Chain A
Amino acid sequence: MSITAETAKAHAHDPAVLCCRAEGGITIEPANLEDPAIFDDLVDSGLLNLDGCLTIEEVLGAKLAKTCDSLCPLTADVVEGAKAPSAPAEEAPAEAAAPEAPAAPAAPTAAVPTAGGVLKIHIGEGKDIDLQIPVGALGAGGTEVVEVPAAAAAAAAPAEEVKEEKVVRSLTRKHFKITEVKRGPETKIEGTTLTIREGIEAEVIADQELVKDFHLEIITPDLYHTYSETVMDVQPIATKEGDDDIGTGVTRVLDGVVMMLTGVDEGGVQIGEFGSSEGYLDENIMWGRPGCPDKGEIFIKGNIVVQEKTNMERRGPMAAHTAFDIITQEIREVMKKLDDSLVAETQELKQVRRPGKKKVVIVKEIMGQGAMHDNFILPVEPVGVLGARANVDLGNVPVCVSPLEVLDGCIHALTCIGPASKEMSRHYWREPLVLEALHDEEVDLCGVVFVGSPQINAEKFYVSKRVGHTVEMMDADGAFVTTEGFGNNHIDFASHIEQIGMRGIPVVGMSYCAVQGALVVGNKYMQYMVDNNKSESGIENEVLGCNTLCPEDAVRALAMLKTAMAGEDVKAAERKWNPNVKSTNVELIEAAYDRKIALVDNEQSLPMSQKRKEKYD
């Protein structure tokens, strides 16, 4: 399709190809040119050969020497009066006495992170230098490679007024070590042994009409190879001290043990069937993901059977979560009474504001389509039920929370179909992007916005417009938008990015995309995308937490947002998902920041399950 003057400008350095037949003698205008966005497909299918093709900026205003047909690449022999190409690096001030850079894409000769949030790369004299500092990877339509033009990169860090860091509030986590979980006449903690009252199952069943059966299992590491129904949630066992609110004061948490809720309906259908994680636990859990158990932990695993056919209705999973919390709550009550002498470790989390630094906000999209897709927001206890409001009931509108509220379990997640990319409750407790941004001294994290993903498009745009205004009134310099899952929710994910981006605020989008989750929609503000995929083939492999946001993704996203906020261009994504982009990005960031980024394992490190063998790998 022909392009506008604006598009032509944006694609000045892309190949110039006639969209339609044009007659010799005409002056070449944007309306004569095809949109470079589709060239890859055309080249792939052999319809287009761009060898020797001039760029758009070279041909605009030049004369077409002879009549050429549609999809004719404009080469020097058919264009009269082509302009000289402008080298993007031409105006780079060569300030460092670095060795002469080769004319081809050059490696940074010296790269140091600076306090200004700018990735500073000194380049010696040279031209046409495209430094590629890619920070992400994703499927169709996205963007994955940051291209730092030398001019911008070599610019000095902006002089900033140095202001004091301010600790807004803090949160203390007292860790209690648990090494053994057993059943007994009463729920108690003695030393590092947690005992759960025998017969508590009956209360769980009695609590909710829709809960038809319940079994409690203690899964110790030697029992990891146990068959399980789909994992509905993984939760930390934590409680507030006294009257402390979530996100402030003191939280007590048990280490070495997690709550795990699993379930089916009476008909044996998995909750979230057609994308569920049932199977042997050790084959279906991606150890160590923020939302998953760590290897070595004990699971207090409750398997709930809900009324037939309520597995995909909201009320089924809600009943299951509510009933299961009876056990957790009983443990919480015990924890409140524990003597401080049992505290194994104390950790203080600070909410730090950094006035004068680039202000960033994290927008986290959570599921709110109804059916089984929902989240409880802001319970009284960490990842509790009491006091929380269901995201769907709130109308999915944005809810602003402090970073510490996130880390203190303000989201009780009712995850659903697609376990590899869904964020379990524990994910928020260890949310990597919040932690990374909170600790990054180059940015000022002002807060976290949760926004639900409604089912209907009209509602999606209703909430995304609220997100736009919310971020606008924060005067943020940059934003992250993260999502879990893929497909339907990518519509609002894209819309959130658009609503923020149209306000002139750079946005880094984070989602699992890769192959199966390739974006279905897009807009021009989706230039900075980070792919959370970890799976080998780029798919939703039903391995719990496999493709969720991990520290390595948070690092890339932060580097990308800083680049974008510094006003530097980002190179468009490759057409097809290419995992190498991510690894190159990571290497470049490691080099630039002189920091080792540990990459997490993927499902290939797990024993192969029958399901994976048959369906995926």
Chain B
Amino acid sequence: MGNVQMLLRQHVGAPCAAIVSAGDEVKKGTLIATPTGLGANIFSSVYGKVAEVTEDRIIIEPADEQPDEFVPLDVPEGAGKLDMVKAAGIVGMGGAGFPTGIKLSINLKETEMGELDPEINPELPKDFKLDHGYILINAAECEPGLEHNIRQIEEQCDKVIRGVKYCMEITNADKAIFAIKKKNQKAVKTLQKALENEADISMHLLPDIYPMGEERAVVRECLGVNLTTTQLPSAARAVVVNLETAAKIAEAIDEKKPCITKNLTVRGKINGGNAAHVFMDVPVGVSVGELIERAGGIDGAYGEIVMGGAFTGRSAELDEPITKTTGGILVTIEFPDLHGANVGILVCACGGSEARMREIAEKMNGKVVSVCRCKQAIENKPGAPLKCLRPGNCPGQVKNNMQFKKDKCEYIIIGNCSDCSNTVMASGPKMGLKVFHQTDHVMRTVGHALYRTLKVSKQVSQDIDF
């Protein structure tokens, strides 16, 4: 095992401050860094010795022996469940990394419905109210190619449900809904069985389109309420929790276990084939390269390594460590070469940022001559990540295509969701624009259909008819 690197910033908020120094002995569960503002505790994920503390990370030299035992959370006798979640350093493990202890500090019973924007909620009456407080469990696993979330449902369903119940208890929510794609038949069946006697916990089946796991998409699908880009799910009297986060909550409360491991999917151009390698409970801080080796090693030349998902992930280096929010490590095939052709990029909230799209264009040897932004991609604050006004429901793209054409683009690279990609395809090729999707190299690698024309319905029946 190579050195483990614990980044001081693995969450939304300010970096933590290290409370250990070089030479200190650490165990699994030793508290090594604490928040300086918004943040969450960071614990050592291994037994070993601190080799170095730098500005942004603590580097630990792991011991040869790595027993399963861990240092339990140091919380006072009779500590509340919320305190245990906070102490455990849990953050949103779906990728967002918002400190869970803070997210759950809400009393949904007394939370008022937010004001709904009539423009995006044309079908709801003006004074629409939800009668319950909800925990919505995000089990969409929306990034194509990842499988660790669904695997956890299949294998650790009880733990996840325990975590959900704790969330309900902490927030005074009287209902919980699992949002899961209907295509995951085995997991759906598993959940169905597990929820047989749970009157307050139900399931909402999602279609297999991107994005369904976006927080506000989950709220809309489960509760029928469209939130604005600045509204939190609490405006719909809900808290959205990733299922892996729920499991971590159960571990923290039941076992006093700190958040030191992560489930993830390693996949792509890997020796032995492109099937997913799901690794459960990988110590946080392990390097990307080590996990790829564990999966079989890179198979020859490759394009890039994507950390996270194909849509929202970024390119990563082999020596980078994984964090509490790393869900995927995807090794891709090589990029096509556009030989310096004129390229337009269509930036939207669902895919990469403009910088990421430009990076992909550059890796494809294209010359970016035009940049358009999806009409629904809203920048809440200058520089803030884009948010989609109506995730998964296209606002039309032909005008952007016309602009690309005007700017003399030969190719366009889009990062849109299923619905918007479909719209781009309705006019782009006819106008003579050759369309790439930013996820193409990943999709080709993992054998997933490319994001182009939408062939499935955005509606699925809620019947478990399989």
Contacts and interface: CB of A to CB of B under 8 A. Distances in A.
Interface of A: 1-2, 4-5, 19-21, 23, 27, 29, 31, 34-35, 38, 41-42, 45-47, 67, 69-71
B454 A1 contact: no
Contact of A47 (B122, B422, B427, B459): B427
Given A5-B119, A29-B122, A41-B402, A21 B394 contact: yes
A5 B459 CA distance: 25
Give the residue among A34, A38, A45, A70 with the most B Cβ atoms within 10 A: A70
Interface in B115-162: 119, 122-123
A2 B457 CA distance: 20
A45 B431 contact: yes
Interface residues of B, number: 25
Nearest to A5: B119
Contact of A34 (B390, B398, B459): B398
Contacts of A19: 394-396, 398, 423
A38 B431 CA distance: 14
A1 B431 contact: no
Contacts of A23: 457-459
Given A19-B423, A21-B422, A47-B430, A31 B398 contact: no
Contacts of B426: 21, 69-71
A180 B375 CA distance: 67
A27 B397 CA distance: 21
A70 B427 contact: yes
A45 B433 CA distance: 13
Given A5-B119, A19-B398, A20-B393, 4 more contacts: A1-B397, A21-B426, A31-B390, A38-B399
A7 to B, nearest CB: 12
Given A20-B422, A21-B423, A71 B458 contact: no
A70 B399 contact: no
A42 B398 contact: yes
A20 B395 contact: yes
Given A45-B431, A47-B430, A47-B431, A70 B402 contact: no
A71 B431 CA distance: 13
Given A23-B457, A71-B398, A2 B375 contact: yes
A339 B131 CA distance: 96
B394 A70 contact: yes
B304 interface: no
10 contacts: A1-B375, A1-B399, A20-B394, A20-B396, A20-B419, A34-B398, A38-B398, A38-B399, A42-B427, A47-B430
Give the residue among B390, B420, B426 with the most A Cβ atoms within 10 A: B426
Contacts of B122: 29, 31
A47 B397 CA distance: 13
Contact of B396 (A34, A41, A67): A34
A10 to B, nearest CB: 16
A67 B459 CA distance: 12
Interface string B366-410: 000000000100000000000000100111111100100000000
Contacts of A45: 431
A31 B423 CA distance: 14
Nearest to B432: A45
A587 to B, nearest CB: 35
A339 to B, nearest CB: 66
Given A4-B119, A29-B122, A71-B427, A21 B419 contact: yes
Give the residue among A1, A38, A46 with the most B Cβ atoms within 10 A: A1
A69 B119 contact: no
B396 A2 contact: yes
Contacts of A46: 430
B238 to A, nearest CB: 24
Interface string B232-256: 0000000000000000000000000
B427 A38 contact: no
Contacts of B458: 23
Contacts of B427: 42, 47, 70-71
Given A4-B119, A47-B427, A71-B427, A35 B396 contact: yes
A21 B454 contact: yes
Contacts of A38: 398-399, 402
